[in-house]
Amino acid sequence: MDEKIALIDTVKGEFADELIYNIAKVVDPKKIDIVISNHTELDHSGSLARLMHRIGQDKPVYCSKMGLKSLSRHFRQKLNFQPVENGQEMSIGQRTLSFLETRMVHWPDSMFTYLKEQRILFSSDGFGQHYAGHEKFDDEVGEAIMPHAKKYFANILMLYAPLILKLVEKVTGMGLEIDMICPDHGVCWRKDPAKIIDAYVRWSNQESKEKAIILYDTMWHSTEMMANQIAAGLSAEGVDVRPMYLRKWHRSDIMTEVLDAKAVVIGSPTLNNGLFPTLADILTYMKGLKPKNKIGAAFGSYGWSGEAVKIIEKELIAMKFEIIEPGIRVQYVPESEHLDTCYAFGQKIGKAIMG
C-alpha cells in the first residue's frame, strides 16, 4: 500500500468471497488501483474476474506478454490487461515494483514481481508449497516446512530444473537482494531466504543420496516377496532403502522420495500381458517429471507370459536411467533360490550406489 494500492495475485475461484472479505479488513477493495497477475493458473487467478468486478473492471491488470494470452483465454470478460516487459519498473509512490519474466517456471506466462525498497520477491509458484496452516512465515513452522517445499518442487517443478538453475543464475547476476520471498501458496520465507534458494539449486541439480526406492505392486505376494529380498540386499550394502507399495503411497509422495534417490527399482506382476495398472500410473507420472541421474532396475513375477519386466525396462531406458543389471522375473511363486537371486540383485545395485 502506497500512493497507489497494488494487489498481487488472487486465489482459487471458490475462495473469491473470502479473499474480498480479507482485503476489506485492510482496505476498501474499491481503493485498489492496480492488480498484478504473476501467473494464470487458476489457483492464482481464479478469483480475478470476481475481484475486478468488485474493485472496478477498468483498473489495470499487469501481466507478462504470455500472461495476456493465457488470461484472455481464461476470462472472457473485458478486463484491462496491461502486458509488461521483462525488467520493467513501476512506481507506486515511495515504492517500486519490477517484473521478472520466469517463462516455463512453470507456465509460459509465469513471472515474479520484486518490491525494490523492501527487497521482497513475490514469486508466484516459485519456492511455494501446498501447505495451508495458520502460519504465514517459515520461522513459524520451522524445519517441518522443508519437506513440503521439497514435495512441491518434486511434483511441480522437477522437469523445469534446467530453467530454474538458469533463473537462479540470472537473479544472482542481477544482484537482486532478497529479504523475503512470498510465494502465492505456502508460507513466506523471511528467516533465511537463501536457504530455500540453495535447496532449489540442490534439487535442480538432482543431487542424490545413497538411497534407493523400490516401487512395486503385487497380486498374490510374489512380487512383494521379491521386493523384500531386493530391499534386504540393498540394505546389506548400507543403502537407505525405501520399499513403497503402490497401493499405499500417493504418487506425489513417491516423487518426493525419487527426487534425491540414486536408484529406482520397480517391480510389477504381469497382468494381461502388461503392467499392473498402478505401475502404468506411476511410470507415466514419473516420465513426465523427468528425473535425472538415476540407476534403474526392474523385477516382477508372472504366470505364463511375463512381459512386465521388459516393459518397465523400456520405460526406464526412455527416462535415461542407467540400467546396471538386467531385470529379474520369477514364475508364479519364488523359491529360496529365487529369493537369493533377488537378494544378490539388491546387493549389486547397492554396490553401484555406494560405489
Nearest-approach distance from CB 41 to ligand FEO, in angstroms: 4
Q: Please state, in angstroms and as integers, the Cα–Cα distance from residue 131 to each residue in 49, 151, 159, 307, 333, following that order.
A: 25, 10, 21, 41, 43
Chain residue at closest Cβ approach to ligand FEO: 41
Backbone phi, psi, residue 301, to 5°: -100, 165
**Nine cell digits for residue 126:** 516459485
With CB under 6 A as the contact rule, the residue among 41, 140, 307, 325 that binds ligand FEO is 41
**Checking phi first, is residue 323 left (phi over 0); if not, alpha (psi -120 to 50) or beta?**
beta
> Do residues 346 and 236 lie in contact, with contact meaning Cβ atoms separated by under 8 Å?
yes
Question: Does residue 108 bind ligand FEO (CB under 6 A)?
Answer: no
With CB under 6 A as the contact rule, the residue among 6, 16, 23, 44 that binds ligand FEO is 44
Nearest-approach distance from CB 75 to ligand FEO, in angstroms: 16
Binding piece for ligand FEO, criterion CB under 6 A, among 30-38, 40-48, 78-86, 160-168: 40-48
Residue 5, amino acid? I
**Which residues are CB-contacts of 235 (< 8 A; sequence separation ≥ 6)?**
241, 346, 350
Beta bridge partner(s), residue 60: 80
Question: Does residue 260 bind ligand FEO (CB under 6 A)?
Answer: no
Judged by beta carbon, residue 107 or residue 321, the one nearer ligand FEO is 107
> Do residues 42 and 74 lie in contact, with contact meaning Cβ atoms separated by under 8 Å?
yes
With CB under 6 A as the contact rule, the residue among 9, 125, 257, 315 that binds ligand FEO is 125
Residue-level length of the chain = 355
Binding piece for ligand FEO, criterion CB under 6 A, among 41-49, 249-257, 261-269, 346-354: 41-49
Binding piece for ligand FEO, criterion CB under 6 A, among 24-32, 35-43, 51-59, 97-105: 35-43
Nearest-approach distance from CB 185 to ligand FEO, in angstroms: 6
Compute the C-alpha angle 273/275/278, nearest 5°. Answer: 150
Instruction: Quote the distance between the C-alpha of residue 143 and its chain's center.
Output: 19
> Do residues 238 and 177 lie in contact, with contact meaning Cβ atoms separated by under 8 Å?
no
Peptide bond into 39 cis (omega under 30): no
Judged by beta carbon, residue 185 or residue 202, the one nearer ligand FEO is 185
> Do residues 204 and 162 lie in contact, with contact meaning Cβ atoms separated by under 8 Å?
yes
With CB under 6 A as the contact rule, the residue among 185, 202, 211, 242 that binds ligand FEO is 185
Beta-sheet pairing, 120-124 with 111-115: antiparallel
Number of residues near ligand FEO (by CB under 6 A): 8
Question: Does residue 43 bind ligand FEO (CB under 6 A)?
Answer: yes
Binding piece for ligand FEO, criterion CB under 6 A, among 15-23, 39-47, 94-102, 297-305: 39-47
- Cell 507456465 appears where? 107
**Which residues are CB-contacts of 335 (< 8 A; sequence separation ≥ 6)?**
none
Judged by beta carbon, residue 64 or residue 222, the one nearer ligand FEO is 64
Nearest-approach distance from CB 305 to ligand FEO, in angstroms: 42
Nearest-approach distance from CB 39 to ligand FEO, in angstroms: 6
Judged by beta carbon, residue 13 or residue 306, the one nearer ligand FEO is 13
Judged by beta carbon, residue 44 or residue 150, the one nearer ligand FEO is 44
Judged by beta carbon, residue 255 or residue 283, the one nearer ligand FEO is 255
Residues making contact with ligand FEO (CB under 6 A)? 39, 41, 43-44, 106-107, 125, 185
